């Protein structure tokens, strides 16, 4: 066993010696994007495993790069370019010259932030964050944080974000992101509505939930007359608009209160949101799945 270890070390150091005597290793390669388009000016860095120094170069208009005189048979090579996610790999030379290709994924823009209670500064989980035009939406995590990214987020367009949670007054933020930008809009405090509190409501087995559940609700949802009207409405219509839902309530109910009621139904898993003004009744779906 000791002989095998010694032999391996001997071969390794012999490779270092021979590479130094023979001018080292040669590495060529290409950097391109996911569509196989060459990336001109991408930075490529060779980092040694045993040495503290490194080598760097940039790709030409064809995406090609060349390194001469690499001193070690195993190195770490990193390729990077503006607006792209860097790629790093370990290269092991099995001969004096080797070629490697790097494919860099485009880095999409993103919007991040955190939603908290304005009074306690505690994070608010499951708050809905969405663009008012319905291009995208997400929910905050247990720490009140959210991230918006992906194809729905287009750089250069100004978005109005609406942040809302049952029993809180909705907030809006206007934001625009540049290409490949990570935009943090900071902490967003939500003000708790006067008179709002956590109450227990009867959910009913027909909704596929527990018989009783602690849910934060507005002063309208879950109370007598309105509760019955909502139950009937959700069992009769699979898809409905905000205006159709609004007709269930009297004229004294504000848009804010009605939207909070819808958010409560979403959190109870009785309704899911399709876009800003369209919804789907999960009560209806469960009824006809039986």
Structure confidence by residue, pLDDT tens digits, 230-254: 888 888 888 998 888 888 876 666 7
Strands (E), the chain: 25-33, 43-48, 54-58, 64-70, 74-80, 87-92, 97-104, 110-117, 128-131, 137-139, 145-149, 158-164, 171-176, 182-190, 197-202, 212-217, 239-241, 271-275, 278-281
DSSP symbol at 140: -
Q: For residue 114, what is the domain's CATH number?
A: 2.60.40.1120
- For residues 91 and 74, the answer to whether their CB atoms sit within 8 Å is yes
Residues 46 and 78 in one domain: yes
Q: Does the structure show a pLDDT above 70 at 192? A: yes
Residues 266 and 203 in one domain: yes
Tokens of 106: 């485009």
Q: Taking residues 247-273, what's their average pLDDT?
A: 78
The three-point CA angle 240-243-247 to 5° equals 100
Residues 177 and 201 in one domain: no
Q: Taking residues 60-80, what's their average pLDDT?
A: 95
Query: Could you give the CA distance from residue 231 to residue 169 in angstroms, rounded to a whole number?
Result: 25
Instruction: Indicate the number of domains in the chain.
Output: 3
Residues 173 and 234 in one domain: no
Kindly give, in sequence order, each residue whose CB lies less than 8 Å from that of residue 30, ignoring residues fewer than 6 positions away: 38, 59, 62, 63, 64, 65, 101, 102
Spell out the alpha helix ranges (H) of the chain: 2-21, 224-236, 242-246, 255-267, 282-289
Among residues 128, 163, 190, which one ends one of the domains?
190
pLDDT of residue 202: 39
Residues 79 and 7 in one domain: yes
In the chain, % of residues over pLDDT 70: 78
Residues 243 and 278 in one domain: yes
- For residues 221 and 282, the answer to whether their CB atoms sit within 8 Å is no
- For residues 175 and 162, the answer to whether their CB atoms sit within 8 Å is no
DSSP bridge partners of 128: 139, 164
Least confident range from 184-193, 209-218, 268-277: namely: 209-218
Better pLDDT: 151 or 235: 235
Kindly give, in sequence order, each residue whose CB lies less than 8 Å from that of residue 264, ignoring residues fewer than 6 positions away: 166, 215, 216, 217, 218, 221, 222
Q: Taking residues 64-87, what's their average pLDDT?
A: 93
Among residues 81, 104, 127, which one ends one of the domains?
104
Residues 81 and 9 in one domain: yes
By DSSP bridging, strand 145-149 and strand 110-117 are: antiparallel
pLDDT of residue 204: 40
pLDDT, mean over the chain: 80
- For residues 108 and 150, the answer to whether their CB atoms sit within 8 Å is yes
Residues 9 and 100 in one domain: yes
Q: For residue 23, what is the domain's CATH number?
A: 2.60.40.10
pLDDT of residue 211: 34
Residues 272 and 209 in one domain: yes
pLDDT of residue 252: 60
Residues 17 and 98 in one domain: yes
DSSP bridge partners of 45: 56, 78
Radius of gyration of the chain (CA): 29
Q: Which domain holds residue 25?
A: 2-104
Query: Could you give the CA distance from residue 4 to residue 257 in angstroms, rounded to a whole number?
Result: 76
Q: Does the structure show a pLDDT above 90 at 39? A: yes
Is this structure's pTM higher than 0.75? no
Helix (H, G, I), strand (E, B) or coil at 276: coil
Among residues 104, 126, 160, which one ends one of the domains?
104
pLDDT of residue 215: 38
Residues 203 and 266 in one domain: yes
Residues 97 and 7 in one domain: yes
Query: Could you give the CA distance from residue 290 to residue 286 in angstroms, rounded to a whole number?
Result: 7
Q: For residue 234, what is the domain's CATH number?
A: 1.10.10
């Amino acid at each position: 066993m000791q002989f095998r270890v010694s032999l391996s070390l001997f071969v390794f150091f012999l490779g270092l010696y021979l590479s130094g005597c023979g001018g080292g290793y040669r590495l060529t390669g290409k950097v391109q994007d996911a569509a196989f388009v060459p990336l001109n000016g991408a930075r490529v860095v060779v980092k040694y495993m045993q040495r503290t120094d490194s080598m760097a170069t940039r790709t030409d208009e064809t995406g090609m790069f060349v390194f001469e005189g690499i001193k070690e048979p195993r190195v770490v090579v990193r390729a990077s370019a503006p607006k792209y996610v860097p790629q790093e790999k370990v290269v092991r030379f099995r001969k004096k010259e080797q070629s490697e290709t790097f494919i860099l994924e485009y880095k999409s823009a993103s919007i991040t932030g955190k939603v908290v209670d304005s009074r306690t500064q505690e994070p608010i989980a499951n708050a809905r964050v969405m663009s008012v035009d319905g291009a995208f939406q997400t929910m905050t995590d247990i720490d009140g944080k959210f991230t918006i990214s992906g194809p729905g987020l287009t750089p250069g367009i100004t978005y109005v974000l609406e942040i809302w949670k049952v029993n809180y007054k909705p907030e809006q933020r206007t934001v625009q992101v540049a290409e490949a930008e990570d935009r943090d809009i900071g902490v967003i405090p939500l003000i708790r509505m006067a008179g709002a509190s956590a109450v227990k409501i009867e959910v009913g087995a027909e909704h596929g939930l527990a018989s009783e559940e602690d849910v934060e609700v507005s002063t309208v949802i879950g109370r007598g007359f309105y509760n019955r009207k909502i139950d009937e409405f959700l069992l009769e219509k699979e898809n409905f608009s905000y205006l159709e839902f609004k007709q269930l309530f009297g004229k004294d109910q504000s848009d804010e209160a009605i939207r909070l009621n819808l958010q409560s139904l979403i959190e109870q898993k009785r309704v899911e949101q399709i876009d800003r003004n369209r919804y789907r009744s999960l009560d209806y779906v469960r009824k006809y799945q039986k």
